[in-house]
Amino acid sequence: MSDLHAQLQQSKAFPIVKDLVCDRKSFDRIQQAGGFITVRTGSAPDANSIPVPKENADLAMDAAQCIGCGACVAACKNASAMLFVAAKVSHLGLMPQGQPERYKRVKSMVEQMDTEGFGACTVTGSCEAVCPKEISLDFIARMNRDYAVALIKGEPKQMAGGGAG
Ligand code: SF4
């Protein structure tokens, strides 16, 4: 059995299909739970019509680098998907277009992650160390803050299409 196969077997959210092939649809379901915005896009706006602070734009671009490869889950002794989910939550939550659903989004995506059976994060940093896109652990801290606010606000879950459930 390969090392990669052995590592992936620790995550029940990534069931093994055959040697070196696992089912990563759990990542898709997390994305479907909240990884979208509901603003009307209409025709293409002028590039500068929605001002975005440079720091936020840079961070959002960093988070958007995540390719959903799952290496973070495979490397984590807890089979946690926190780095992946944090990247997906953050790249929308940092932009003005992502504000209307910001707290519903984080609640929905974290709860879907838990439903999928990914493990808890104990901040070992192995995910960040292996991430091919150098997604930072800081995004997990950012997501945890937003999740705490969502709980305090009593946000409902986000439904596909923009409603609340
Ligand atoms: S290892 Fe990095 S790029 Fe791959 S899914 Fe995890 S956060 Fe995304």
Cβ atoms of 141 and 82 within 8 Å: the answer is: no
> CA-to-CA distance for 110 and 144, rounded, in angstroms?
9
In a domain, 17, yes or no: yes
In a domain, 42, yes or no: no
In a domain, 121, yes or no: yes
As a whole-number percent, the residues of the chain with pLDDT over 90 amount to 65
Question: How far is the first Cα of the chain from the last one, in angstroms, to the nearest whole number?
Answer: 43
The string of pLDDT tens digits covering residues 57-103 is 999 999 999 999 999 999 999 999 999 999 999 999 999 889 989 99
In a domain, 93, yes or no: yes
In a domain, 163, yes or no: no
**Number of folded domains that form the chain:** 1
Residue nearest to atom 7 of ligand 1 (CA): 84
In a domain, 158, yes or no: no
Quick check: CB of 67 below 6 Å from ligand 1? yes
pLDDT band at 9 (very low <50, low <70, confident <90, very high): low
- Total-model pTM: 0.83
Quick check: CB of 86 below 6 Å from ligand 1? no
pLDDT at 161: 47
Quick check: CB of 143 below 6 Å from ligand 1? no
pLDDT band at 42 (very low <50, low <70, confident <90, very high): confident
Question: Which range of residues forms the domain containing residue 78?
Answer: 3-37+54-153
Q: CATH number for the domain including 148? A: 1.10.1060.10
Quick check: CB of 30 below 6 Å from ligand 1? no
